[in-house]
Structure 1
Amino acid sequence: MEEKEIKNLLDLYFKGECTPAEKRYLESMFDQLSMHGEFDEKTIDREAVMHRLKGKIDRQIRRERFITLPVMLRVAAAVFLITSVAAFFYYKSTGFSRVQYVITTVPKGQRMKLTLSDGSTVMLNAGSRIRYPEKFNRETRSVTLLEGEAFFDVKRNDEKPFVVETPGTQTQVLGTAFNVQAYQAFKEVKVTVMRGKVAVKEAGTGEQKPVLLLPDEQVIVNTATGYQTKKHINANESIGWMQGKFLFRNETLMNVALILENSYNVKIEFNKETTKEIRFTANFNSTDSLEKILFAIAKANGITYSINDKIVRF
């Protein structure tokens, strides 16, 4: 295992950009693997040694208010080294050393199309961020939508399910077309099916029964509670953004603001918290000026706004 590969995985872990599966594996490896001088990975009692080592670090952390800065730095270094060892075994046991990941971020005001190594395509909305392998070479084809919105058109492969992970959900398909909206500020994830069938469940729930979706069906998952709402909709409206349309349906102004921020590269602020929760329904085109949209929002809801140096205030 190369030092660079270990560092990359740790960077993703500490930034919160590991997939739920990677995070769970890393954390479980911390309890299972060991580092105690020189060791033979085939014969050492990894679980017992790591349990003792983890306990020692936990005790040091509880005493941190009484220790000097150099000692605290040594504790931090120990934690880093132990986690690096966990990362080493994680890569070694799963074959991750052969997988190179790419993180693509779409600038505000733009959209981007990606073609993955299996021929599946992903259309990313403005301000979105996705993590995917350069080449799929494991049992599943797994990508992570870290932020934003994406439309997936998946090439069918009965032997390798396609999995989309977000900070709150896991969506699995064989071959289909569907939209995933996973803006972290929304505190909910929406999965909408255009073609085929998908299975959606809350991330990290083990054997939880997934929600099955057919065309023109959508599930909304509350990322805080895990509560799921399934409903029938016009799926074409969920991908209006791909045709340059803003289709707001009973959306809070806070959510509308985020979409406009990403599309027009501005910052939108609210003077009152209650204004954020006002709900709004309207259709616009991306060719409409920001001023036109803001005027319509303000007039429909009896509020005022101002623009100063790309900062909008309601």
Structure 2
Amino acid sequence: MDSEQLKKLLEKYLSGKCSAEEKLFVDEWFSTSGEKAAHLDEADLKRIEKEMFTHIRGRTFGNNIPVITSVKRFRSWQSIAAAFLLLIGIGYIFFFRKETASVEQVDAIPQLSTFQTKAGQKAKLLLPDSSVIWLNGNSSIRYDQAFRGARREVLLDSGEAFFEIRTDPAKPFIVYADGLRTQVLGTSFNIQMRNHRNQYMLTVNTGKVNVRSKDGRVPLIPVDAGQQFTYNREGGNHSVKHARTTDFSAWKSNEFILKNASWKEIADKLWGWYGISCKLLLTTGDRETFTAKFDNPSLEEVLNALRKINHFNYKIIKKEVIITN
């Protein structure tokens, strides 16, 4: 939205001709700015246009400009942010196709923003406190852009994320995901919600976190660096064990790692990395496992290498790979 569009919006508002959504936006601005809508002269209109334009920039981007990446290459969008700013409309909804993610300002829940990635995408998000969140493909997170209140809280709604959290003893950082509450003061850790195993997995690289469930099935459990907490959503059972934690966050460096992975796990990983579904038509070998490591591989490179571990045939048809014996 440019200055001319803002001017027209204000004129429609003052004449009572704007839509309900437009009225809500302007009402909100007047409420937060302390301005009065009545008796505005031309100078007031110009000043308000400028202030509203600044307000839009701050509310949309704030100080945390995300860096969007694909599986194969990293792309900063600072260079295109100014161009896209002209496309901002009421509601602050952005859709970036192909190798970018979608960012949505959720007005229904005040002060919360949603950041989403599609299959085959990764994103690095800088938070208001300079903490960093990496999102893997097919992931969604919500957060307060200003971290108001006594706690820094985010909600991981789906997928996988790696957190690098700045220390602030006076303002703990809390992640809500899959019915679990993970609290940290300053640490780095990975959270993965693995649908193919109906499992939540928390791996701590540095520092220490405390995790517990809202329903009481998981009491307060400390998880230290080098440990991994797993929770089965179906049975409610959980465990803490030592793990090679870097393997579980290697995805943010475009390392594709499989460790005793089943076909279901491989199918889930292929969807997250390449946005391609996997149809398993195996008459034998459905219990085979695979261990392998790749550095930023193509889909064909992965499949051809896995064939050397356990033989199978595959065919790629558009957005689907069919696996047969």
Q: Which interval holds the TM-score relative to the shorter structure? A: 0.5 to 0.7
Question: Deviation at 1:176?
Answer: 0.9
- CA shift, 1:239, in A, is 1.2
Contact 1:280–1:297 (Cα < 8 Å) also in 2? yes
Q: Contact 1:191 / 1:219 at 8 angstroms: preserved in 2?
A: yes
Of the three residues 87, 111, 114, the one matched with 2:122 is 111
Change in Cα spacing, 1:274 to 1:148, as seen in structure 2 (3 Å) is farther
Give yes or no for contact 2:189–2:203 (8 Å, CA) kept in 1: yes
The alignment's TM-score, normalised by the length of structure 1, stands at: 0.64
The DSSP-based 3-state class of the residue aligned with 2:313 is coil
Out of 217, 235, 251, the position equivalent to 1:241 is 251
Instruction: State the partner residue of 2:182.
Output: 171
Q: Secondary structure at the match of 2:121?
A: coil
> In the TM superposition, what is the alpha-carbon distance from 1:181 to its structure 2 partner?
1.0
The residue aligned with 1:217 is: 227
| Aligned ranges 1:133-148 → 2 under 5 Å | 133-148=144-159
For 1:97 and 1:131, the matched residues in 2 are separated by: 13
- How many residue pairs match? The answer is 219
CA contact (8 A) 1:181 1:191 kept: yes
Conservation of the 8 A alpha-carbon contact between 1:298 and 1:305: no
> Is the aligned partner of 1:281 residue 2:288?
no
Kindly state the Cα deviation for residue 97 of structure 1 after the two structures are TM-superposed: 9.6
- The CA deviation at 1:272 is 4.5
CA deviation after TM superposition for structure 1 residue 109, in Å: 1.9
Q: Give yes or no for contact 1:99–1:135 (8 Å, CA) kept in 2.
A: no
Gaps of 5+ in 2: 1-19, 22-106
State the Cα distance separating 1:98 from its structure 2 match. Answer: 9.0
User: How do residues 1-314 of structure 1 correspond to structure 2 at under 5 angstroms?
Assistant: 99-205=110-216, 208-272=218-282, 277-286=287-296, 288-314=297-323
Counterpart AA for 2:307 = A
CA RMSD after TM alignment? 2.5
Instruction: Label 1:174 to 1:137 Cα distance change in 2 as closer, same or farther (>3 A).
Output: same
Output one character per residue of 1:202-249: Cα deviation in whole Å (capped at 9) or x when no partner: 34328x532211111111111112211211112111111111101111
Q: What CA deviation, in whole Å up to 9, does each residue of 1:105-162 have, x standing for no partner?
A: 1122221111122221101112211111122222322111111111111111212221
TM-score normalized with structure 2 length: 0.62
Contact 1:202 1:226 in 2 (8 A): no
Greater fraction of residues in strand: 2
Q: Structure 2: how far apart are the matches of 1:273 and 1:204?
A: 41
**Greater share of helix:** 1
SS in 1 for 2:281: coil
Q: Contact 1:164/1:172 (CA < 8 Å) preserved in 2?
A: yes
Q: Say whether the 8 Å CA contact 1:171–1:200 is kept in structure 2.
A: yes
Give the distance between the partners of 2:146 and 2:284, measured in 1 at CA.
47
Q: Contact conserved, 2:213 with 2:219, CA < 8 A, in 1?
A: no
1:37-58 per-residue CA deviation (whole Å, 9 max, x = no partner) reads xxxxxxxxxxxxxxxxxxxxxx
Q: Is the CA contact 1:183–1:189 (under 8 Å) kept in the aligned structure 2?
A: yes
Quick one: distance in 1 between partners of 2:198 and 2:283?
16
- Three-state SS of the structure 2 residue aligned to 1:139 is coil
Contact 1:129–1:146 (CA under 8 A) maintained in structure 2: yes
1:80-113 Cα deviation digits (max 9, x unpaired): xxxxxxxxxxxxxxxx999411111112222111
Unpaired runs of 5+ in structure 1? 5-95
